[in-house]
Each structure stands twice: as structure tokens, then as C-alpha cells.
Amino acid sequence: MKETYLDNSATTRLDETVLNEMLPYLKEYYGNASSIYSLGRESKKAIEDAREKIAKVLNCRADEIYFTSGGSESDNTAIKGIARANKNKGKHIITSKIEHLAVLDTCRELEKDGFEVTYLNVDSKGRIDIQELKNLIREDTILISIMYANNEIGTIQNISEIGEIAKQNNIYFHTDAVQAIGTLEIDVNKQNIDSLSLSAHKFYGPKGIGVLYIRKGIKFQKFIDGGHQERNKRAGTENVANIVGLSKALEIANRDLIEHRKQIENLRNYFESQIVKSIDSVVINGDINNRLPGNSNISFLGVNGQDLLLNLDMLGICVSSGSACTSGSIDASHVLLAIGLDEDTSKSSIRVSVGKYNTKEDIDYLINSLKDIVKRQRNI
């Protein structure tokens, strides 16, 4: 049975070009980047070259880039690190109800330490209200953390405007841009972003490697104690191959951004138009006019999303119900509840996320399979 992978918001397949770029650092160049002999210097050079390339794409300085194990670690480090190092200025944080758990659970941890967190509501499309954000800013607000684009419904927030508001009020602004890389433009200076997370495996790079950008001059606590790697902010021998892979994947993502966006958007729009035409009682979730190009989150009323997933899996099709981190659990998605869906509708939803290796055949196969399965499930 052919595997039809349509869960590119959960993770992506490693690009062959990226793999080839990584291989020498898994084979010949195995030196420790902290060693002074030439084998070590090879590794050091590869890391610093990667840092330069990444900084160019984000429009920041190379010494504002820190390598981490991925999006979760970057979010944790940014939010906890900035909050704890700046608590003398205030202990109030603003975020939203639809953030990834890497942000939400981090904020909940900080609440245990005496920080106060305000969780912004979103409207039925998943957008925060800029006026509400302005109204909630206080004397002691030190950090705003709002994601660039949502991983479940794809809704894109107005990052530049939030960044501007944060700047005017002397508040640090962190954005989880994990889903945005590869399809949306990023310029940390133009968009007034003080801190940003990204993760390589969401844009055809390797798993277990991410970037945390933090603007120079912002104090933040180190996350891993030990050696002096990453300018004494994150101890541990660097994963050179993964770092090289991340920078190559980012270079490709940046180079192909517009073309890639168009390609997956066309497939996603084709998918939704066919579904709406051939299956009744479906609801498309998220901001139809402003969402990630490959994202489609649909509720099939009267059908259980988990049953849909299992039936699709039997046909070799990989999609997800809401976020991968919560699938397996029977809780309704916190994002779908936040946009106002009731529990039943939330649980009748699936997320299809189109990626660069998908074809029209994949989409046709999914459409035909869904037609059969939904009909069958509704007859039970």
C-alpha cells in the first residue's frame, strides 16, 4: 500500500539535498567543535557558517542565534529565560489561548513561580483582538508571546503590529514561528521581533534541532548548565550535522518560498473545494482569507475525528486530528474550543497539511477515501 503523507504540520520528510549536506558531518568531520586541532575546527567552522546563513535569512546578527533541540526548547528557553531574568521589571506576561503547548505549559509553570499570565481570547477565525491586547498591557507587563501562525487551524496573526505595540510599551515580544518558516516572510527587525523559535523538522530538515533568536542586549537565563557552548547559554557538544542540515533546509525554504507557497495552496484549495462540493455538513475552520497555505482543518459533523483518522490510516493516509501532541488523548482541541466550536464539533475535526512532496493524486486519493468513510460512518 502506498503511503500518502498529508501531515506536514506535524513533521516533514527530510529533503535529500539536506541529507547529503549533513552526511560528511556524520562521517568524516566528527571532531568536537570545542577542540583546537583542525578536525575540531572543521566542526566549529560549519557551525559558525550555519549561524551566519540563518542570521541572513532572519535579518539579524549571527550572535543573536542560539541552537537548541527544537521548537519546544526554544519556546521554553525564551519565555522562562526572559521572564526570570527580567522579573525585577515586572511579572506579567501576555499570550493567547491558542498557543502551542510548548508556550502554554511554559506559562503555567511560570504561574507557579508567581508570574501572572493573561491568556488572550481569539475570535471565531482564531485571530487575537489588537485592541484587547493594548487594553491588557500593564505597568508590570514584561513579555508578550504570540505565535506567528497556528499549527492546528493555520490562522496567521499580525506579527508586525503586535511587535510595534510591544516596542512602544517597552515590552519584549516573543513569537513561535515554527509553522511560519517556509511559507511566510520573516524579518525580525522589520517586524520588531525580540525573540523567535523555529524548528528544522517542520521545513524538511532533521528532527531534534531548532533555533532560538534573541535580540542582543536582552537578558535571559541560560537553560542548560555545563560547558560554555552557545556563548555560555546552552551547554553540550553541538550536533554539527543537524546544525548544518537546519541551515541548508532554511536556505532552501527561503529560496523556494513563493513557489512552494503557491504549489501547496493550490492543492489545499482544490482539496477543500472538492470536499465542500461532495460531502455535506462540513465546516472549514480557521481564517479562510489569512491562514497557512497548506493547512486545512475541517469538521465533518456527526463523525468522530479519531474514527476518521483510523480509517484513513488503514488506507495508508496520514492526517491528524488537531495537534499531534494531543492526538491519542480524547480531549477536544484547546484551539478549536477557543474559536468557539462545541465539544462534539471539535472532536469531528481533522487537520490535513499539504507539503512540497504532495501531488494532485495524493489529494484525489484523500478526497475519494473521505467520501466513502464519512458516508459509512454517518450510516452507523
Q: Which residues bind ligand PLP (CB under 6 A)?
A: 70-72, 75, 100, 102, 147, 151, 176, 178-179, 199, 202, 210
- Complex with ligand PLP: residue 295 or 311, whichever CB lies closer: 295
Whole-number minimum distance, CB 252 to ligand PLP, in Å? Answer: 18
Q: In this complex, which beta carbon is closest to ligand PLP, that of residue 151 or of residue 358?
A: 151
3-state secondary structure of 295: strand
Give which of 135, 145, 139, 136 is closest to 89, Cα–Cα.
139
Min CB(184)–ligand PLP separation in Å:
12
Q: What does each C-alpha distance from 237 to 67, 228, 233 come to in angstroms?
A: 11, 9, 13
- Nearest approach, Cβ of 154 to ligand PLP (angstroms)? 11
Q: Which residue is nearest to ligand PLP (CB)?
A: 71
Least distance in angstroms from the C-beta of 312 to ligand PLP: 21
Rank residues 208 and 340 by Cβ distance to ligand PLP and give the closer one: 208
b/e 196-221 (16+ beta carbons within 10 angstroms → b): bbbbbbbbbbbbebbbbbbbeebebe
Give the distance from CA 303 to its chain's centroid: 28
Residues 6+ apart with CB under 8 A from 179: 9, 147, 148, 149, 150, 151, 154, 202, 292
Task: Identify the active-site residue in 60, 107, 318, 325.
Answer: 325
* Rounded Cα–Cα distance for residues 15 and 12 (Å): 9
- Residue 91 or 260 having the CB closest to ligand PLP: 260
| Shortest distance, position 202 Cβ to ligand PLP, whole Å | 6
Which stretch of DSSP H or E encloses residue 214?
strand 210-214
Phi-psi region of 76 (alpha: psi -120 to 50; beta: other; left: phi over 0): alpha
For ligand PLP, the closer of residues 102 and 367 by Cβ is 102
Confirm if 297 and 349 have CB atoms less than 8 A apart: yes
The C-alpha atoms of residue 258 and residue 73 are separated, in whole angstroms, by 29
Q: Is 325 a catalytic residue?
A: yes
Q: Which residues are catalytic?
A: 325
